[in-house]
Chain A
Amino acid sequence: MDPIRSITGTAVPLDRSDVDTDQIIPAEWLKRVERTGFAAGLFSAWRKDPSFVLNQPQYAGASVLVAGTNFGTGSSREHAVWALTDYGFRAVVSPRFADIFRSNCTKAGLVPAQLDVETAAALLAAVEADPTIEVTVDVEARVVRAPAAGIEAPFPLDDFTRWRLLEGLDDIGLSLRHEPDITGYESTRPRWLPTTSPVGG
């Protein structure tokens, strides 16, 4: 994962709540065995509607998605994050994220910035009114800024995840540093716990 310090760009307003990952990337796209190439699948059912926000030229080239509450509910498919990043988004702003989606974001280089309901609504309205507004999601300062709209608000990001994003660290490498702890734990596991080795005829 590449280090992420701060993201600045224009934003797309997606004024819908409960946007599930089936909408972000429909199941048909999950048959791919690659990690890239999902941009065309992003919101592909909704994009068939010419009035859908991603089809509006004034929002082309945006790097921040500003959405309603409960963003990323449903299926655990990380393909939803890959589709958003393939399309060009680097951060998503919402009053609330589904747990698995949020976790997938921070593993795959998309910043989930959770703002309080009022600030998120104000940002959405500002971006709808003026698509050229610049929005910054500052990982280092843990702040979302849209100076033209007079918005500056903190978002929660724990120290560990912030450090991983800033350094672009591989989670697996970090855990493998504790390999002796893992081996030690394994020696204490009850022997009656199951293995998956096939049993019976």
Chain B
Amino acid sequence: MGRTLSEKVWDRHVVRSAEGEPDLLYIDLHLVHEVTSPQAFDGLRMARRPVRRPDLTLATMDHNVPTTLDAGGAMVVDDPISKKQMEVLGANCDEFGIPLYPMGHRNQGIVHVIGPELGLTQPGMTIVCGDSHTSTHGAVGALAIGIGTSEVEHVLATQTLPQRRPGTMSVTVDGELPPGVTAKDMILAVIGRIGTGGGMGSVIEYRGSAIRSLSMEGRMTVCNMSIEGGARAGLVAPDDTTFAYLEGRAHAPKGKAWEEALDVWRSLATDDDASFDKGVELNATTLVPHVSWGTNPSQVAPIDGNVPDPEAIADPAERDAARRALAYQGLAAGIAVRDIAVDTVFIGSCTNARIEDLRAAAAVLDGHHVRDGVRALVVPGSALVKTEAEAEGLDRIFRAAGFEWREAGCSMCLAMNPDKLAPGERCASTSNRNFEGRQGPGGRTHLVSPAVAAATAVAGHFATPQELN
């Protein structure tokens, strides 16, 4: 019987397989950031173990970095604990010989943005990072898994990871997306359908004509949020869109090596006679922009819809969760999504801060201005994205519209740097999680696409770009 894409990638990386034990998988690329690595390096030191393959390991600073410069153009970290955490990463990379793109470096950025843009993320690879959004890299057809700090230490020491073979799940989206409906809306709809646990134990392969039609940036947005549906990873079969994206990037193979790589990459697609353990299907032609209303990413509604009435939900656990979510979010049951006003708009994060996302938001904002009283900021996913956007003049459009144009980092996605919501503040955010307090203690998050975020900034309440004209 045929094999799926994820099974093929898995099989290519098994170092050792034994009855009753997890497979020992080789890891092609290990991405490291400052938050989940310090205790792993401490563990290596205590056991006097070296890093086995510093040349397959790359570190950057993203979670703690401030996104504003001082009057002299310098980036100053006011929080001494944040500062120390980044210094510790620098010292660890020095000690163990790991390449590092620190704050201020032209290749610095959110770890899941810089991997693909440097061409380090390639089809058929195994990629890990101490970060659940590692699934982003699956967009190129890599098996990319988020891990904890003990596993980070394990990969540093051995370049392998003992892993149980995951299940396979297909998410098939067919048809053409209507205008104004984006990859973000697609994945929010998927999570709304399968729930936060729907993908647990599985690797999701995104398939179908609507997925094939997405750009690489769009595929990254979809794969990024696989973890929000509980999946171990998410991926898309590599195709001409993938190869066109990779060709010429800094770390992509060149010349004869490129041709050799292409032969392998083309062989990775799921065989016609392969089967998945489970699957769901969505029709792209009927999708509309989505907005999350609750405090987990499966609590979403179409922008034309209403916040649900918890009392109408049959499942007791879901009903209780919805009651709790509405209380936290300060929302009345049944209110129209469009009637919800926002205080802040955040365009950024590993979900939606690549160049295409910024272009989409800027296209909406051109000729408009952010509504009075709304704070709006755009945080590019990487220093390279920022440079590219400035070369295209996007920064001028954002600034003219009343947005703050910031330096690259994770920023208000999880509020480990100074960019935070105040208690009770409501935010339309292009990020991935609407958990309680995610963007700052007491803050209220609604997940949306970059286009809806931009339109919402102008309207002051949830809106689509079409409504601005």
Residues of A at under 8 Å CB distance from B?
15-18, 20, 22-23, 26-28, 30-35, 45, 68-70, 73-79, 81, 96-100, 103-104, 107-108, 158-160, 170-172, 174-176, 178-179, 181-182, 184-186, 189-200
Inter-chain contact A181/B55, CB cutoff 8 Å: no
Whole-angstrom distance between the alpha carbons of A171 and B149 in the complex? 13
Question: How close is A164's CB to chain B, nearest CB, in angstroms?
Answer: 10
Contact of A74 among B79, B82, B132, B153 (CB under 8 A): B132
Inter-chain contact A194/B15, CB cutoff 8 Å: no
Inter-chain contact B436/A31, CB cutoff 8 Å: no
Known: A78-B148, A185-B26, A198-B99. A99 touches B154 (CB 8 A): no
The 8 closest A-B pairs by CB, nearest first: A107-B150, A104-B148, A78-B148, A192-B257, A33-B38, A196-B58, A192-B253, A78-B149
Contact of A16 among B38, B153, B324 (CB under 8 A): B324
Question: How close is B61's CB to chain A, nearest CB, in angstroms?
Answer: 12
Inter-chain contact A27/B150, CB cutoff 8 Å: no
| A-B interface pairs (CB < 8 A), number | 210
Contact of B196 among A18, A28, A170 (CB under 8 A): A18
Q: Which residues of B contact A76 (CB under 8 A)?
A: 36, 130-132, 146-148
Q: Which residues of A contact B320 (CB under 8 A)?
A: 15-17
Known: A73-B196, A74-B433. A196 touches B57 (CB 8 A): yes
* Residue count of chain B within 8 Å CB distance of chain A: 86
Contact of A70 among B49, B146, B197, B415 (CB under 8 A): B197
B437 part of interface (Cβ distance < 8 Å): yes
Q: Which residues of A contact B230 (CB under 8 A)?
A: 70, 73, 98-99
B430 part of interface (Cβ distance < 8 Å): no
Inter-chain contact B200/A98, CB cutoff 8 Å: yes
Q: Which residues of A contact B42 (CB under 8 A)?
A: 33, 35
Contact with A along B11-41 (1 / 0, CB 8 A): 0000110001110101011000001101100
Q: Which residues of B contact A20 (CB under 8 A)?
A: 296, 433, 435
Whole-angstrom distance between the alpha carbons of A163 and B251 in the complex? 42
B264 part of interface (Cβ distance < 8 Å): yes
Whole-angstrom distance between the alpha carbons of A124 and B416 in the complex? 34
Contact with A along B355-368 (1 / 0, CB 8 A): 00000000000000
B162 part of interface (Cβ distance < 8 Å): yes
B260 part of interface (Cβ distance < 8 Å): yes
Whole-angstrom distance between the alpha carbons of A153 and B15 in the complex? 36
B176 part of interface (Cβ distance < 8 Å): no
Inter-chain contact B146/A100, CB cutoff 8 Å: yes
Determine the residue in chain A with the shortest Cβ distance to B442: A45
Q: List 28 A-B contacts (CB under 8 A).
A: A16-B321, A22-B433, A22-B437, A26-B437, A28-B415, A31-B85, A33-B42, A33-B88, A68-B317, A70-B195, A73-B230, A98-B197, A160-B22, A172-B157, A174-B162, A175-B154, A182-B15, A182-B26, A182-B160, A190-B260, A192-B257, A192-B258, A193-B125, A194-B119, A194-B251, A196-B56, A196-B57, A200-B250
Inter-chain contact B436/A181, CB cutoff 8 Å: no
Q: Which residues of B contact A31 (CB under 8 A)?
A: 35, 64, 79, 81-82, 84-85, 416
Inter-chain contact A171/B36, CB cutoff 8 Å: no
Q: Which of B85-143 contact A (CB under 8 A)?
A: 85, 88, 98-99, 119-120, 122, 125, 130-132
B441 part of interface (Cβ distance < 8 Å): yes
Question: How close is B188's CB to chain A, nearest CB, in angstroms?
Answer: 16
Contact with A along B194-233 (1 / 0, CB 8 A): 0111001100000000000000000000000001101010
Whole-angstrom distance between the alpha carbons of A32 and B160 in the complex? 26
B431 part of interface (Cβ distance < 8 Å): no
B275 part of interface (Cβ distance < 8 Å): no
B164 part of interface (Cβ distance < 8 Å): yes
Whole-angstrom distance between the alpha carbons of A77 and B318 in the complex? 25
Q: Which of B181-201 contact A (CB under 8 A)?
A: 195-197, 200-201
